[in-house]
Amino acid sequence: MPANKKYLTTSSWQRFAKISAGIVGGYIISALLHIALAYWLPNPEMVLITSVYTLYILWVAIIIMSFLAKNGWKLWALYLAIIIVLSVLIYFGKAYNPIN
């Protein structure tokens, strides 16, 4: 059964934005989230050990969710905002709770 044409109307730039946001932005968000958790939770060694598995699970979930967005450029803006928030959390976590 062929695909309905109304669902295939996204431009190639929108498709590129969704794919790149899912792959690149999703990996950065996953890594920064685990680093922020390592700084803010009391047992950072366990967070870093389990991040080997949970980072990729979260990354795949973010990739799948990126294809649900209608506009890839707004998705990039959202991912960049999340990246900035997580970077600020890491900065303050490093300043107030340094890992030895």
Higher pLDDT, 8 or 85: 85
Q: What would the pLDDT profile of 21-79 be if each residue is shown by its tens digit? A: 999 999 999 999 999 999 998 888 898 899 989 999 999 999 999 989 889 999 999 99
The stretch 72-92 carries a mean pLDDT of 95
Residue 52: Cβ within 10 Å count: 9
Q: Does the pLDDT at position 100 exceed 70? A: no
Closest by alpha carbon to 83, among 24, 22, 17, 29? 29
Please state, in angstroms and rounded to a whole number, the distance separating the CA atoms of residues 16 and 72. Answer: 8
Please name the residues in contact with 56: beta carbons below 8 A apart, sequence gap of 6 or more: 30
Closest by alpha carbon to 37, among 98, 89, 95? 89
In a domain, 18, yes or no: no
In a domain, 16, yes or no: no
Q: Give how many domains the chain has, as a whole number.
A: 1
In a domain, 15, yes or no: no
Q: What is the span of the domain harbouring residue 86? A: 23-94
In a domain, 72, yes or no: yes
In a domain, 69, yes or no: yes
Please state, in angstroms and rounded to a whole number, the distance separating the CA atoms of residues 22 and 38. Answer: 23
In a domain, 62, yes or no: yes
